[in-house]
A = this chain, B = another copy of it.
């Protein structure tokens, strides 16, 4: 593949947050605008749900510490890794060694890139869930790996995430070297059941597949559902990298912090690569991780309740729109409704929605090419503004509904 082809494929125009760069004809002229408070569902609103209390104070303390905090090891400050390893061990019910098995990265995006580039290279096969986070496909594509898609029957099946186990095993049988999945799933918000997680462990061991589990939203579980950490199963620990970070529920995205833990061999590769990609997570910013998993009493519980309430209201709004299919979010802040057939493409609909109704969402096609009728919303937003915005989505669906 030439570089030109590679970069043509690697689009960002529809990526969340990049909508501002879209150029084109004056879309406003194609329809009347629907008034309302603009809502950007492409990512969470850290003004509506601010960062963990005292984050800034911790950052300031990092600056006060000075040189030692500015220039940490590439894998991050030893003291902070030690603290985090203990907390993450408790959270996951495992035992993580801070010296060799954990790395701090610039956001979980950084961790994902480093993990993938440490495991797969040109020509390797990798099993990827559809739908799943868009970078899960874009990174392997950039690395020239071959993607074997594995379907999540999230709408058809309400037990577990709806993982197509026979497809997964077939991908492994075809020689997949790696398997990457997010749990809770982005964009659908479903949780993999114990049975599904156990099956992944069993198949990974059987076929010697290295797994990357992106657990970014695993602290924000609704309705007291069960959540199974893959790292706590029978999976060979030499074959698993777990990724997690404080950018979502904890609203620390502006600090760009992520964590990966796994076998020392792979963590070392990730560090070597980080040394030439970005050196390290910003030194002072690392300090903010001290607060993570140590939030004020009741703070996380309240945050989860608040999000569950928004979810309930938005679900109700979406279910009022004729022809919408949507599954209730089980964890995390995403909704992934499937809209009825429209007279415009989903990318075009998203552009129109933004320009005519002040509502920014991400087209489903970012998560898998089959999702031509779906949109993703991050509902970590001002509660009332979000409800009004979904009503405007309903009005826009009527405006562009295809007559059957």
Interface residues of A in 1-52 (CB under 8 A from B): 2-3, 6-7, 10-12, 15, 17-18, 20-21, 43, 45-47, 50
Interface size class of A (residues with CB under 8 A): 35 or more
Chain A positions 134 through 153: 1 when the CB is less than 8 Å from some CB of chain B, otherwise 0 = 01001100100000000000
Q: Quickly give the copy total for this chain.
A: 2
Q: Does A71 contact B (CB under 8 A)?
A: yes
Of listed A110, A122, A256, residue having the most chain B CB within 10 A? A256
Q: How far is the CB of A125 from chain B (nearest CB, A)?
A: 14
User: In the complex, how many angstroms separate the beta carbon of A334 from the nearest chain B beta carbon?
Assistant: 16
Contact assessment for B277 and A256 in the assembled complex, using a CB-CB cutoff below 8 Å:
no
Which of chain A's residues 142-186 have a Cβ closer than 8 Å to chain B?
A: 142
Is A271 interfacial (CB-CB < 8 Å)? Answer: yes
Interface membership of A285, Cβ < 8 A: yes
Q: How far is the CA of A6 from the CA of B120 in the complex (A)?
A: 12
Let me know if A282 and B256 touch, CB within 8 A.
yes
Residues A138 and B43 in contact, CB atoms below 8 Å apart = no
Instruction: Report the bound CA distance from A142 to B272 in whole Å.
Output: 10
Name the segment of A59-67, A335-343, A395-403 touching the other chain. A59-67
Instruction: Determine whether A198 belongs to the interface, using a CB cutoff of 8 Å to chain B.
Output: no
Indicate if A273 sits at the interface (CB-CB under 8 A).
yes
A32 to chain B, nearest CB (A): 28
How many Å lie between the Cα of A280 and that of B107 in the bound state? 9
From 193 to 249 in chain A, residues with beta carbon under 8 angstroms from any chain B beta carbon are none
* Inter-chain contact B256/A278, CB cutoff 8 Å: yes
Q: How far, in Å, is A79 (CB) from chain B's closest CB?
A: 12
**A21 vs B47: C-alpha distance when bound (angstroms):** 40
CB distance from A189 to the nearest CB of B (A): 20
Nearest-CB residue, chain B, relative to A62: B254
Q: Are B56 and A71 in contact (CB under 8 A)?
A: no
A107 lies within 8 A of B11 (CB): no
Nearest Cβ on chain B to A124's Cβ, whole angstroms: 8
Interface string of A276-296 (1 = CB under 8 A from B): 111111111100000000000
Q: Mark A77-112, 1 if CB is under 8 A from B, else 0.
A: 010000000000000000000000000001101100
List the interface of chain A (C-beta within 8 A of B).
Answer: 2-3, 6-7, 10-12, 15, 17-18, 20-21, 43, 45-47, 50, 56, 59-60, 62-63, 66-67, 69-74, 78, 106-107, 109-110, 113, 118-122, 135, 138-139, 142, 253-256, 268-269, 271-273, 275-285
Q: Which 8 A-B residue pairs are closest in the complex by CB-CB distance?
A: A70-B254, A256-B282, A254-B283, A47-B66, A47-B67, A10-B272, A109-B279, A106-B278
Instruction: Please name 11 pairs of A and B residues whose Cβ atoms are closer than 8 Å in the assembled complex, sorted by A.
Output: A12-B74, A17-B71, A43-B71, A45-B67, A46-B71, A50-B66, A106-B106, A107-B279, A138-B275, A256-B282, A285-B285
